[in-house]
Amino acid sequence: MSGGFADAPVQSARAFREVLEAMARPGTIRKVAGARPPAPLSVAAGVALLVLCDPTTRLHLAGAADCPPVRDWVAFHIGAPLAPAETADFALGRWEALQPVTRFRIGQPDYPDRSATLIVECDRLVNHGPALTGPGIETATWLNLPETAAFRANRALFPLGFDCLFTAGDRIAGLPRSTRVENI
């Protein structure tokens, strides 16, 4: 089965660095490469799965992402067990398919890291839309989010809450739970 990294040690290290940079600098759009996942997944979604998931991370596929070619690709390249939304470490799908996001794990007061990361497939990523402020952002930045209410509610739960990666084509952007989202 094809579609994984051709030069795994080098490509996975570069890809992991880009994903970390996306989360460390919310709203910054990064370019990733190396994965060729089956439709309907984007290159960026495939890269995120390859570097973040493994046989110990539970993965929820939502909507169109939950199809035989994607399940087979995940099984072959990653080995991540598929799980219901309520127990998933990672979830992948379009924003509409991931609803309601309140069903995903937000961590516990003594273990806030036991939360879900949502990988949200988008049509495009641009630095236009709601203003983002907080850790990792010098003054403010902007990102075209699918909505603002869910992210504002998520921020109110901090240090609990879910984290998000947005993917479109070969682009990826992060939105950790610590980021404030404001309509401007």
Domain boundaries, the chain: 8-179
Q: What does the chain come to in residues?
A: 184
CA distance readout (Å), 64 to 29, 70, 126, 166: 24, 9, 23, 16
Tell me what pLDDT residue 84 has.
98
Which of 1-10, 81-90, 122-131 is predicted least confidently?
1-10
Rounded percentage of the chain residues whose pLDDT exceeds 70? 99
| pLDDT at position 184 over 70 | no
List, for residues 50-70, the tens digit of each pLDDT value.
999 999 999 999 999 999 999
| pLDDT at position 29 over 80 | yes
How much is the average pLDDT of 14-37? 97
Tell me what pLDDT residue 177 has.
98
| pLDDT at position 1 over 80 | no
Tell me what pLDDT residue 183 has.
83
Phi and psi at 43, nearest 5°, equal -55, -45
Contact between 35 and 4 under an 8 Å Cβ cutoff? The reply is: yes
pTM greater than the 0.95 cutoff: yes
CA 106, distance to chain mean position in Å, is 15
How much is the average pLDDT of 26-53? 97
Q: Which CATH class is domain 8-179?
A: alpha beta
Looking at every residue in the chain, the average pLDDT score rounds to 96
How much is the average pLDDT of 12-19? 96
List, for residues 137-150, the tens digit of each pLDDT value.
999 999 999 999 99
Tell me the three state secondary structure of residue 45.
helix
Classify residue 4 by its DSSP letter: S
Tell me what pLDDT residue 143 has.
98
Banded model confidence at residue 4, pLDDT cuts 50, 70, 90: confident
What's the maximum distance between 2 C-alpha atoms anywhere in the chain? 46
